[in-house]
Amino acid sequence: MKGVRTREGTREGGLIGTDDAAVIARVRSGEAEAYAELVRAYTGMALRAAVAFGAGADAEDVVQTAFFKAYQSLGRFREGGAFRPWLLRIVVNETRNTVRSAVRLRTAVGREAAMSEAEPLIPESSDPAVAALEEERRVLLLAALDELGAEQRQVVTCRYLLEMDEAETAEALGWPRGTVKSRLNRALRKLERILPQAARVGGDERE
């Protein structure tokens, strides 16, 4: 799994042209190799989540363990449920366990370096100027996230870095939706005081 990137043919929300539930059904029916499709689709997202939540250099080990635990638990996966937030919940829990056992702090520089390693490749067709602007904005945002508390950082990461909706975020973090909304609002207000206008996130989220 080390060194894996998400590339053309996958997207962060799932598998292009393939339904997650159908893949899970194939795995449950004995086609174990089908699980690799889910791993390829969600490795990039899982790596970025693990890094943002504090796993740092241990992110790849955390993600590998999370995928293994998810595979072992597929028999208990809720029929009709969404795989992405369910997997992310396992990643979050595994990251917390790793950070707790390591008992060490992550610096903004270390997190940014690890996050860069976990980023999907930029398509060659991308406008270099646009890519540079987005990279600068992302660096500012990641540095600002270190100014937030752990729970606020987690909710911003889910909603904006991982582009999850409110329901997915609530499921991934194990919080009620009202808690997601209130913690996100407080986080965005704090980010407004930290970030320059060009790098802000959230738009009308607090409406």
Please list the pLDDT of the chain residue by residue as tens digits (207 residues): 444 333 333 444 444 334 899 999 999 999 999 999 999 999 999 999 998 888 888 999 999 999 999 999 998 898 888 999 999 999 999 998 888 775 444 444 455 555 555 554 444 445 555 566 666 777 777 778 888 888 998 998 899 888 899 999 999 999 999 999 999 999 999 988 888 665 566 655 554
> Is-above-0.85 flag for pTM?
no
- H helix or E strand, kind and range, residue 177: helix 177-194
Direct distance between the N- and C-terminal alpha carbons of the chain, in angstroms, rounded to an integer: 41
Task: Give yes or no for a contact between 114 and 63, defined as CB atoms under 8 angstroms apart.
Answer: no
Structural domains of the chain ordered from first start: 1-111 (1.10.1740.10), 122-207 (1.10.10.10)
Contacts (Cβ under 8 Å, ≥6 apart) of 188: 156, 201, 202, 205, 206
- Please provide residue 59's backbone torsions phi and psi, each rounded to the nearest 5 degrees: -55, -45
The predicted structure's pLDDT at residue 184: 94
Contacts (Cβ under 8 Å, ≥6 apart) of 42: 12, 83, 84, 87
Longest Cα pair distance anywhere in the chain, in angstroms? 53
The predicted structure's pLDDT at residue 125: 47
Structure tokens belonging to residue 191: 């980010």
Task: Give yes or no for a contact between 202 and 191, defined as CB atoms under 8 angstroms apart.
Answer: yes
The predicted structure's pLDDT at residue 192: 87
Question: In whole angstroms, what is the distance from residue 5 CA to residue 43 CA?
Answer: 7
